[in-house]
Each structure stands twice: as C-alpha cells, then as structure tokens.
Homo-oligomer: A and B are copies of this chain.
Amino acid sequence: MSLPATNFHPPFNITRASHLVLTSRDLARARDFYTEVIGLKVSDETATTIHFRGVEERAHHCLTLKRTKDEPACERVGFRVFGEEDLERAKAHFDAKRMPARFVNVPFQGRTLHLADAAGTPLEFCARMKPQAREHTRVHEHKGAAALRLDHMQVLVADVTSTAAFYADLGFRVSDYYCVGERIVATFLHRKDNPHDIVFMNRAGPRFHHAGFVVSDVNHVVRALDCAGNLGFNENLEHGPGRHGHGHSYYIYLRDPDGHRIELLLPPVQTIDIEDEPVRYNLTGKNTNVWGPPPPRSWFEEASPFAGTGVIEAPAADPLTLEKYLFAKAPKPEPVKRRA
C-alpha cells in the first residue's frame, strides 16, 4: 500500500475542516461542558440545538449540538470551500463520479452540499457562514480553555489508504503517516497551513474519533482541567496532559458528557512549502506520548457512530495501551525488612 499523491490542481477549492454536528442526550449538561471547560461561545441556541464557535472564530459555528433521545452520534463533518463557485464545481465533480451529492439548507450557513466520502463518512461543504465578532481579546469573558478554533477531526476507517486517496484527489496533502511494518495505519491530511484538517486511523469504521480544538498555551489547558474538576467533569479526562511523539503538540483528550471525544491542542506547526513532504512514523510497539504513559484502551477502541452509517471491520490492532504499560511496570513486592 502506498501513500496517495496529492492532486495539486483539484476540481474545487476546499480551504479547511470547519465544523461538525454531534447529538446529545442532555443538551444542558453538554452546554456546560463546552462553555465552561472547552470555553466555546454560544452563537445561537434553541430548545433543541446549540451552535458554538471558538473565541477567535468569525464563523458562526464550528460545533452544532442537537438534542437526541437515541445513542449519541456524529451527524456530519463539515469543510469550507473558498467561494460559492467551488460548490458548483464540487457538485459537478461528484455528479461526474456518480457519487451522490445534494444541496441542502442549513441554518446560519450558505448553500450547503451533502455527500459521503469514500469510507462513508457523512460530509458537508459550504462557502459561507453568518459572520460573528472575534472574541479572543475579550479575555475578561473567557472561560475554561477559551478554545480558539476548531482545528481538525479524526475519523476511524477500515481502509486508511483508499480514504486518504479520496481526499488527496481533492487537493489534500499528507503531512504525516503512521506505518506498522509496511502497512499504513494512519494519515494526517491538510488543506490549511498546518498538519491536519482530517486524520484517519485504521479501525472498524467509519466512526468519529475526536475533534481537535486549538488553545493558546498550556496554561489554558490547565485552566480547562481545573474548571472540569470543579464543575463535576473530573471523570472526563481520558488522556494527558501529554506530548505527541510526532511533533504535533501538547494535548489532552476529554470525553464530553455524551462520550464524544474532544482534543485540546496547542497552535500547530506551519505546513505550507513544497518541501513539506509527508513524514513517516513507524509505530510498532511505540508509545506516541513523549512524556510517558500512553493512552488507555478506551482511546484506541471507543468512538462515536456516524448517524445512519454502517461500520466495516478492520484488521485487529495491537497498540501499546496504558493498561499494558502499567502491567509491565507493576510494582515489585515491597522490600520489607522486619525489625528484630
């Protein structure tokens, strides 16, 4: 299996991963989590839907939460295209490929195109959202992590290579990829100027693994964790603080009240130039946390379903989990010397 080649003259201009839609069984509790811990701003809310944006975002929303009585799910992953004409070109492109794509109306968004990627992940593209004021300098009103903006999403898919090829054909570049032996097990793809808009990891899928939000610095991560601890979200930290071994950033992974996974990461490295070739990481038996303990088993195995989307099995994986790591480090029996 080889890495797909980027189409540097893509049929239309996707600019970035921009938003996602999640469902929640307890909108009030989820609202607390996203405003008080992650620190997002509410752009609009009704009894059944809340739209959030990061404190620096002009875009109306990066996260839409919808009330559900069913199992919480990810409804859709959203990308921005640059202009309205890109939507037309996109529609024509997918029509030509005989891939279903249809225009829909979505509140606070311009004309929006719905489709699914090669793995079945439900996507949407739009060129415009209702503009809002940036609020990153209104520090006196910031809460929790004061997350700046949505950065990327990670999706589990049964076939990483063919899924990546779909995106490479639309102009995405691979910044990094993980291999186990010669098998590619993860790809980091980007359109904007940093290493990731969307990341695919090899598991049964498609399933939604996490959304990553950028925060200013480590002190905002600390504040998020203190707020989480004080507000009854202290069981929500799944992994971290740690540092990604492939050089991306410091991070924590939290589970929201419905179990959806949220990463907080620091501003990523800039990735623009032609010599920013894909970087390969050999994963076999490796711990990807530079600082020490790896993620727990839940991080590798649990993910949110995509609404209405079936799942395809993937080859078994054998990652180094926190559970294995702790077992290997199990305490020696106490060196007790009795006193006379």
Contacts and interface: CB of A to CB of B under 8 A. Distances in A.
A33 interface: no
A325 to B, nearest CB: 9
Interface string A294-323: 001110011101000011110000000011
Given A71-B335, A297-B331, A326-B296, A269 B56 contact: yes
A275 interface: yes
Contacts of A192: 193, 270, 272
Interface string A44-84: 00000000000010110000000000010000000010110
Q: Which of A148, A219, A273 has the most CB atoms of chain B within a 10 A radius of its CB?
A: A273
Contact of A235 (B136, B143, B204, B292): B292
Contact of A136 (B16, B236, B247, B335): B247
B243 A290 contact: no
Contact of A272 (B80, B243, B247, B274): B80
A273 B226 contact: no
Contacts of A1: none
Interface residues of A, number: 93
A310 B297 contact: no
A229 B291 contact: yes
A217 B139 CA distance: 16
A241 B241 contact: yes
Interface stretch (A95-103, A127-135, A162-170, A181-189): A127-135
Q: Give the one of A144, A225, A322 with max B CB within 10 A.
A: A225
Interface in A108-140: 120, 127-129, 131, 134, 136-140
Nearest to A150: B270
Interface SS majority for chain A: loop
A211 interface: no
Contacts of A159: none
A23 to B, nearest CB: 14
Contacts of A71: 335
B331 A272 contact: no
Contacts of A237: 291-293
A28 interface: no
Nearest to A266: B216
Contacts of A231: 140
Nearest to A240: B241
A-B complex: 9 closest residue pairs judged by Cβ atoms: A310-B339, A237-B292, A229-B290, A139-B226, A267-B267, A217-B217, A193-B193, A225-B291, A140-B227
